[in-house]
Chains A and B, each alone.
Chain A
Amino acid sequence: MADVLVAEDIRKSYGDATALSGVSLSVGEGEVFALIGPNGAGKTTLVRALTGTTEPDSGSASVFGTAPDEADRQRLGLLPQSFDPPERLTARELVEYYAGLYDEARDPEEVLSEVGLDGDDSTWYENLSGGQQRRTCVGTTLVNDPDVLFLDEPTTGIDPGGRRALWSLIEELAERGTTVFLTTHYMEEAERLADRVGLLADGELAAVGTPSDLVAEYGGRTRVVVETDSDEATPAEATDALAGTGFEVETGDGRVTIGGVEPEDIGEVVRALNDAGVAYEALTWKQPDLEDAFLRLTGRSVVGGAGGGAGAVGGESDVEGEETDGASAGDTAVAGGER
Chain B
Amino acid sequence: MSATGRVRAEASAAWRSFARRRTAVFFTFFFPVILILIFAVLVQTNPGGGGLFAQPPGYYLPGYLAVVVLFTPLSRVGSEVARHREGNRFEKLATTPLSRSEWLLAHTLVNVAIIGLAGLLILGLMALVTGTATLALGVGNLALVAVFVAFAVALFCGLGAVLGGLADSQDGVIAASNTIALPLLFLSDTFISSDMLPAWFRPAMNLSPLTYFARGVRGLTYQPPGNEVETLATAFGQTWEFQLGVLVALTLVFFAAGAYAIPRTD
Contacts and interface: CB of A to CB of B under 8 A. Distances in A.
Interface stretch (B11-19, B41-49, B144-152, B244-252): B11-19
B179 to A, nearest CB: 28
B87 interface: yes
Best-surrounded residue of B12, B17, B21, B95 (most CB of chain A within 10 A): B95
Best-surrounded residue of B1, B8, B21, B89 (most CB of chain A within 10 A): B1
A182 interface: no
8 tightest A-B CB contacts, nearest first: A100-B9, A84-B87, A80-B88, A88-B20, A97-B13, A78-B95, A101-B96, A80-B91
Contacts of B20: 88, 124
A80 B20 CA distance: 25
A93 B266 contact: no
Interface in A243-296: none
12 contacts: A48-B91, A53-B265, A54-B266, A55-B265, A73-B95, A86-B17, A88-B20, A89-B13, A89-B16, A96-B9, A101-B93, A101-B97
B94 interface: yes
Given A89-B13, A97-B12, A100-B1, A52 B94 contact: yes
A84 B1 contact: no
Best-surrounded residue of A48, A81, A100, A104 (most CB of chain B within 10 A): A100
Given A54-B265, A97-B13, A102 B95 contact: no
A85 B96 contact: no
Contacts of A121: none
Given A101-B9, A101-B97, A103-B1, A83 B87 contact: yes
A105 B98 CA distance: 14
A51 interface: yes
Contacts of A82: 87-88
Contact of B96 (A87, A89, A102): A102
A135 to B, nearest CB: 16
B88 A84 contact: yes
A180 B103 CA distance: 28
A317 interface: no
Contacts of B265: 48, 52-55
B1 A83 contact: no
Interface of B: 1, 5-6, 8-10, 12-14, 16-17, 20-21, 86-89, 91-98, 264-266
A41 interface: no
A101 B98 contact: yes
A53 B9 contact: no
A101 B95 CA distance: 10
Nearest to A81: B88
Q: What size tier do the contact residues of chain A reach?
A: 35 or more
Interface string A62-82: 000000010001101111111
Contacts of A105: 1
A140 B9 CA distance: 14
Contacts of A74: 97
A101 B6 contact: yes
Contact of B266 (A53, A97, A101, A144): A53
A140 B91 CA distance: 13
A154 to B, nearest CB: 13
A181 to B, nearest CB: 12
Contacts of B92: 78-80, 83, 140
B105 to A, nearest CB: 14
Contact of A53 (B13, B91, B97, B98): B91
A98 interface: yes
Contacts of A87: 17
A76 B97 CA distance: 10
A102 B93 CA distance: 11
A79 B89 CA distance: 10
Contact of B94 (A53, A88, A98, A104): A53
Contacts of A53: 91, 94-95, 264-266
B260 to A, nearest CB: 15
A30 B109 CA distance: 41
A81 B91 CA distance: 10
B13 A93 contact: yes
Nearest to B83: A84
B209 to A, nearest CB: 30
A101 B94 contact: no
A55 B13 CA distance: 29
Nearest to B5: A100
Contacts of A144: 96
Contacts of B95: 51-53, 73, 76-78, 150
A96 B88 CA distance: 19
B47 to A, nearest CB: 47
A96 B5 CA distance: 12
Contacts of B97: 73-74, 101-103
Given A48-B266, A101-B98, A102-B1, A88 B89 contact: no
A231 B10 CA distance: 64
Contacts of A99: 9
B94 A84 contact: no
